[in-house]
Amino acid sequence: MAKLTSFQADIRPLFTDRDIHAMSKAFDLGSYEDVKAHAAAIYDRIRGIGGAVMPPPPPRGEGPWQQSRIELFAKWMGGVPALRKGGLHVDWPGSEC
């Protein structure tokens, strides 16, 4: 049986303190409810869809994420009941949208 992906154990550690601070005016990347509500937009931006890839590369950030991290986030999204998967948009601070 496949291991379930957990927000606290698997997803929350993907976001650095720097990421959480940078996004704090829009939503809390450390919060299950906030990440769940914005998951589709986060997923787009970690893949560079809808604007600059997030998190940004050094020196502004610690990104972009490795493919394995993106796939883990997608796996988590697929396992969250009632997760909204479309039409969400977020303006990431410092991004060229």
67 in a structural domain: yes
In a domain, 53, yes or no: yes
**Is residue 57 one of the residues assigned to a domain?**
yes
With beta carbons less than 8 A apart as the criterion, state whether 85 and 38 touch: no
Structural domain range at position 32: 7-79
Question: Is residue 63 classed as helix, strand or coil in its secondary structure?
Answer: coil
Residue 33 lies in a domain: yes
Mean pLDDT of the residues in the chain:
83
Instruction: Give residue 78's identity as a one-letter amino acid code.
Output: G
pLDDT in tens, 48-84: 999 889 999 998 889 899 999 999 999 999 887 655 4
pTM for this model (two decimals): 0.79
> Number of folded domains in the chain?
1
Confidence tier at 85 by pLDDT (50, 70, 90): very low
Tell me which residue of 37, 63, 88 sits closest to 54, measured CA to CA: 63
What's the Cα-to-Cα distance from 45 to each of 38, 48, 61, 86, 89, rounded to whole Å? Answer: 11, 5, 14, 13, 10
Instruction: Answer yes or no: is 86 within a domain.
Output: no
